Amino acid sequence: MRLTERVYLVGSGKSGADISNPYDSHVYLIDGASSLALIDAGIGIQPELILDNIRDEGFDPANIAHIVVTHGHADHAGGASVLQTATGADILAPGPAATWLLDANEAAISLPEARAGGTYPDDYRLAACATAHAISDGDQVQIGDVHLQTIATPGHAATHVSFLLHGDDRIGLFGGDIVFHGGKILLLATPDCSIQQLMKSMQHLENTTFDALFPGHGVISLNRGTEHVAKAHRMLCAQQIPPNYTS
């Protein structure tokens, strides 16, 4: 599903376009002309659906150079291993999340608790990546003739980043689970989820210029994406908690 000149939606579960496994986050393909990249990787169940969607858009998965994840939660990063095997891509993940993916460290991403609560199937397991490299605030990822700028955005998870895409027909923010359409946020009962950190991240994003908001779930805004950040930030500044995103 083409969204802009350079961005395609190739994975999306039951809380989105429902074009891949129901547990998947949004998975975006970036077309850098001479190279491709994925933003997030879905859960890793039925990865062939994502690969088929990539082919249906006219791309060869073997040309994917990078799989870049916003954070380590299973619905965003659980598919990194199997998609790496299928494409040969490098995995880029924020800070210690790269090591968690190498070690298949389920405890670090609160996966046992999520399974116990019914968020994921009882038999779901995180698969280890063959290689993974850490990225941090300010890092740039070159994808052919476009590039991503990494922005640290903790809150939903302590190890969470967003990415600004430069070189498309508009500036796009891939926000993972930091903010959603309508100014919604996603607070979890996990040890590293922090409303205080989220507020600081929202302030940072409100001072960031972009057009499109590409969130990890739900409605995508191709224009006026900053309005959703501003709405969440206004509520936080008024010492209110924005509505929590639900699928």
Contacts of 234 (CB under 8 A, 6+ apart): 183
Instruction: Examine the pLDDT at 247 and tell me if it is beyond 80.
Output: no
Give domain 7-237's CATH number out of 3.90.1150.10, 3.60.15.10, 3.40.50.150, 3.40.190.10: 3.60.15.10
How far apart CA 54 and CA 8 sit, in angstroms, is 9
> Minimal CA–CA distance to 176: which of 5, 51, 27?
27
Confidence of residue 176 (pLDDT cuts 50, 70, 90): very high
End-to-end CA distance of the chain: 20
Q: What mean pLDDT comes out for the span 93-111?
A: 98
pTM of the shown model: 0.98
- For 181-237, what is each residue's pLDDT tens digit? 999 999 999 999 999 999 999 999 999 999 999 999 999 999 999 999 999 999 999
Confidence of residue 2 (pLDDT cuts 50, 70, 90): very high
Place of tokens 């996966």: 111
Question: What DSSP line would sit under 113-159, residue for residue?
Answer: HHHHTTSS-TT--PPPPS--EEE-TT-EEEETTEEEEEEE--SSSSS
Place of tokens 């599903």: 1
> Minimal CA–CA distance to 133: which of 103, 160, 158, 96?
96
Evaluate whether 181 touches 228 at the Cβ level (below 8 Å): yes
Evaluate whether 158 touches 152 at the Cβ level (below 8 Å): no
- For 32-78, what is each residue's pLDDT tens digit? 999 999 999 999 999 999 999 999 999 999 999 999 999 999 999 99
